Amino acid sequence: MHWLNDGPIPEDRMRLMEKFGDVLTIAGGPVGMRRSYVTALRYAIESQWPDDDVVYFCEDDYLHLPDSLRSLQAVAEQSGVSYFALYGLTPEFANEKEAPGAFAYPKHWKVLPPIEAGGVQWVHGVSTASTFGARLGALRQDYGIFRQAMFPFRHRFLDHETCVVYQGRYPYHDKEYVLGPRGDFVPGLRGVVRAAVLVPFRLALTVRAGMQSRHPHPLYTAAPNIACHAEVGVMNPGRDWDAVAEDARRWAIEQGLMAQATA
């Protein structure tokens, strides 16, 4: 395990990190979300690890099932899949912000067959956030896509578009070139100006998707999810995440990794 820290870390947490892996601190930090993400990507692709290895990027606000990484290992060994989402929307399991039944594949999306590995069902996913697994060979080839999807904004990167493009699919259709994906358009004059500025970037991503279609790198998502973004409103159904969290808390206390809370 490699811990990448952007800025100072409390001493007790640092001791925990040092116990379970290598600790790396970004020089001159904190540098912010986007630059720290780029640092993590470059750390992986510039390593000496083989192209067929799988690296798992994990943000600091995720909850995992106890055997989630073993499940990732199983699907990686049993398939030639390039990208893996332990957390992500699927047609059957959508969160409060994407109500069940509201999920839809993008226009012209061709769904690849599901995969069963290690007792977990993996389905062809559309996109995920910045917590994901990647086969290093694919990630090295696709790094330019990740960077291109960061250009339009100073403090934001386009996770959804990144995932769609590296799969060789078009991220926008019809009026989405102006309005963006559902819920992206900002009403008012500011939104109109913003949309006009973004059109060239969206066209450029579409061109990149066309180029990528010759060698797509599919993303597969665990359904139901085996990890969860621990933020109310975006916790996907299919698991009792309260029970998972309580189980993790009890385990951490038993291992001496955290103190028992007292009233």
Residue 229 has, within 13 A of its CA and on its CB side, a CA count of: 19
Q: Return per-residue pLDDT of the chain as tens, 263 residues.
A: 999 999 989 998 999 999 999 999 999 889 998 999 999 999 999 999 999 999 999 999 999 999 999 999 999 999 999 999 999 999 889 888 877 666 778 888 999 999 999 899 999 999 999 999 999 999 999 999 999 999 888 777 899 999 999 999 999 999 889 888 777 778 888 878 888 889 999 999 999 999 999 999 999 999 999 999 999 889 999 999 999 999 999 999 998 888 776 44
- Provide the 10 A C-beta neighbour count for residue 101: 9
Contact 180, 192 (CB under 8 A): no
Q: How far apart are CA 212 and CA 219, in angstroms?
A: 14
Name the burial class of residue 211, with classes exposed (0-12), middle (13-18) and buried (19+) by CB atoms within 10 angstroms of its CB: exposed
Q: Which two tokens stand for residue 106?
A: 């993008």
Q: Which residues in 2-34 are b (16+ Cβ under 10 Å) and which e?
A: ebbbbeeeeeeeeebbeeeeebeebeeeeeeee
- For residue 237, is the peptide bond before it cis, meaning its omega torsion is within 30 degrees of 0? no
Closest CA to 184 of 209, 212, 153: 153
Q: Measure the CA–CA gap between 175 and 153, rounded to whole angstroms.
A: 21
